[in-house]
Amino acid sequence: MDMNLTDRDKQIIKDHIDRGEPLPPKYKVMLFADAPEVELIWQGKTSEVTSVVLPFQSIEQIDEPRAETMSGKTLDLFATDSVSGRQSGGWTNKLIWGDNKLVLSSLKNGPIRREIEAAGGLKLIYIDPPFDVGADFSVNLDVGDETLTKEPSLIEELAYRDTWGRGTDSYLAMMYERLKLMRNLLSDDGSLYVHCDWRVNSSIRLILDEIFGENKFRNELAWKRTSARSDSHTFNHIHDTIYFYTKSDALNFTTQYVQYDQSYVKTAYRNVEEDTGRRYTLSDLMAAGTRQGSSGMPWRGIDPNARGNHWKFQTEKLDELDQEGRIVWPKKVGGVPRYKRYFDEMKGLPLQSIWTDVHPVTSQSAERLNYATQKPEIFLERIIKASSNEGDLVADFFCGSGTTLAVAEKLGRKWIGCDLGRFAIHTTRKRLIGVQRELKAKGHPYRSFEILNLGKYERQYFVGINPNLPEEQRRAQTIQKEEQYLSLILAAYKAERLSQMPPFHGKKAGTAVVVGPIDAPVTLIQVNEIIDECRRKQISKVDVLGFEFEMGLKPVVQDEARQKGVSLSLKYIPKDVFDKRAVERGQVQFYDVAYVEVRPKVKKDKVTVTLTDFGVFYRQDDLDSLGEKLKPGGSKVTVDEGQVVKILKDKSGKITREVLTKKWTDWIDYWAVDFDYENRPEVIRIVEDGNERDVWTGNYIFENEWQSYRTRKDRNLELTSGEHTYEKPGRYKIAVKVIDIFGNDTTKVVEVRL
Look at residue 559 and tell me whether its pLDDT is greater than 90: no
- Out of 164-173, 324-333, 476-485, which region has the weakest mean confidence (pLDDT)? 324-333
Residue 549 has pLDDT above 60, yes or no: yes
CA distance 753 to 733: 9
List, in sequence order, every residue forming a beta bridge with 595; answer none if it has no partner: 615
Closest CA to 381 of 124, 179, 120: 124
Instruction: Dump pLDDT digits (tens) for 487-504.
Output: 989 999 999 999 888 999
Contacts of 99 (CB under 8 A, 6+ apart): 159, 420, 454, 458
Report which of residues 237 and 183 the model is more confident about.
Answer: 183
More confident residue, 741 or 244: 244
Full-model pTM: 0.79
Give the count of beta carbons closer than 10 Å to the beta carbon of residue 404. 32
Range name among 137-141, 161-165, 391-395 with the lowest pLDDT average: 161-165
Residues β-bridged to residue 87: 80
The crossing angle, in degrees rounded to 10, of helices 154-163 and 168-185 is 100
Backbone φ, ψ for residue 60 (5° rounding) = -160, 145
Better pLDDT: 505 or 2: 505
Strands 706-709, 146-150: parallel, antiparallel or unpaired by DSSP? Answer: unpaired
Give residue 688's pLDDT.
73
Give 239's contacts (C-beta < 8 A, 6+ positions apart).
222, 223, 224, 225
> CB of 414 within 8 A of CB of 432?
no
pLDDT (average), residues 87-104: 88
Write out pLDDT tens, residues 188-202: 999 999 999 888 899
Q: Identify the band that residue 709 occupies on the pLDDT scale cut at 50, 70 and 90.
A: very high
Side chain identity at 195, as an amino acid letter?
A: H
What's the one-letter identity of residue 423? F
- Which of 47-56, 477-486, 509-518 is least confident? 477-486
pLDDT for 185: 97
| pLDDT value of position 361 | 79
Smallest CA-to-CA distance from 663 within 708, 612, 598 is with 612
Is the pLDDT score of 289 beyond 70?
Answer: no
Segment of 64-73, 358-367, 628-637, 714-723 carrying the highest mean pLDDT: 714-723
* Residue with more model confidence, 616 or 36: 616
Residues 718-750: tens digit of each pLDDT: 999 999 999 999 999 999 999 988 888 888 889
- Cβ atoms within 10 Å, residue 645: 21
CA 682/CA 414 separation, integer angstroms: 23
Question: Which sign does the torsion angle of CA 456, 458, 464, 468 carry?
Answer: positive
- Contact of 79 with 87, CB cutoff 8 Å: yes
CA dist., res. 223 & res. 366, Å (int): 21
